[in-house]
Amino acid sequence: MHYQDALAEEIRDSAARLLAEDVGPGDITAELIPEKHWSRARVITREATVLCGVAWVDELFRRLDPSVSLSWQAADGDRLAAGQTFLELEGPARSLLTGERAALNLLQTLSGTAARARHYVDLLEGSGVRMLDTRKTLPGLRLAQKYAVSCGGGHNHRIGLYDAFLIKENHIAACGSIDAAVREARDIARDLSVEVEVETFEELDQALEAGADIIMLDNFSLDDMREAVRRNAGRATLEASGNVDDTRLLEIAATGVDCISSGALTKDVQAVDLSMRFLPQEGE
């Protein structure tokens, strides 16, 4: 399935799951409000962030109540300032309240992911080094968080186990050698990239000799990264990985590697503080 088609399907499915886990058989507290009571509300962010999740919220309210109208004042990938209103809603008060938490949960998580990615990308600006995510995503939010990373200016590593080869220590042990693993990968799918994770210079040389497209330098020191760049001489794409955080990005980039990957973009995400507030009714 094409990535965009898979993402569209994920948006539909996740919106349904969000409503199912929160609303269940019905929102009993919303029943305190008269059924025909009409309201307007706005959503603000209490901290600076990068917006992500528009399509999910649109789909969520479409499923919940198509009569709710949403007016977005920002788009996915836009930077938001603390206190900024980025969404206004209008519709039955019951529906606005029922959908509130599911919508904010999704927005706060994906916007937090996009903001983390943007922070890392900003630190690397001008270096020419690409910032990559990993498969260390929150369970059930793989495509959503990968999309959020791209909204923050980062790049997606492989989406799953199906769209690229990543040959690690145990694969090498099971296949017998790096060369054997790379040759088998080429036989299985010549159109997919083959990456080999290495921990030593010996393994690096073997991966280069085998013709790997990408070589992941796992927990290499800065000096060893520089030596790896020298040995590589542009033959393969070099990816630095392991114990990467925002305090080390620039010094890693300075070694000459092509890209840096970090699970911190997704697995350690901190949700953004968002709030929905009803607006006064006309005449009040």
Positions marked active-site? 101, 136, 168, 197, 218
Strand 85-92 relative to strand 69-72, pairing: antiparallel
Question: Which backbone phi and psi does 79 adopt, to 5 degrees?
Answer: -75, 140
Q: What are the Cα distances from residue 192, in Å, to 37, 81, 137, 138, 196?
A: 55, 41, 22, 26, 13
In single-letter form, the type of residue at position 58 comes to: D
Greatest pairwise CA separation for the chain in angstroms? 77
* b/e 216-228 (16+ beta carbons within 10 angstroms → b): bbbebeeeebeeb
CA 138 to centroid of chain Cα atoms: 9
Q: Are 102 and 233 in contact (CB under 8 A)?
A: no
Using CA atoms, how far apart are residues 13 and 18, in angstroms rounded to an integer?
A: 9
Residues in contact with 215: Cβ distance below 8 Å, sequence separation at least 6, in sequence order: 195, 196, 197, 198, 204, 207, 208, 228, 232, 236, 237, 238, 239
281 burial via Cβ count (<10 Å: 0-12, 13-18, 19+): exposed
Residue recorded with tokens 């006309």: 282
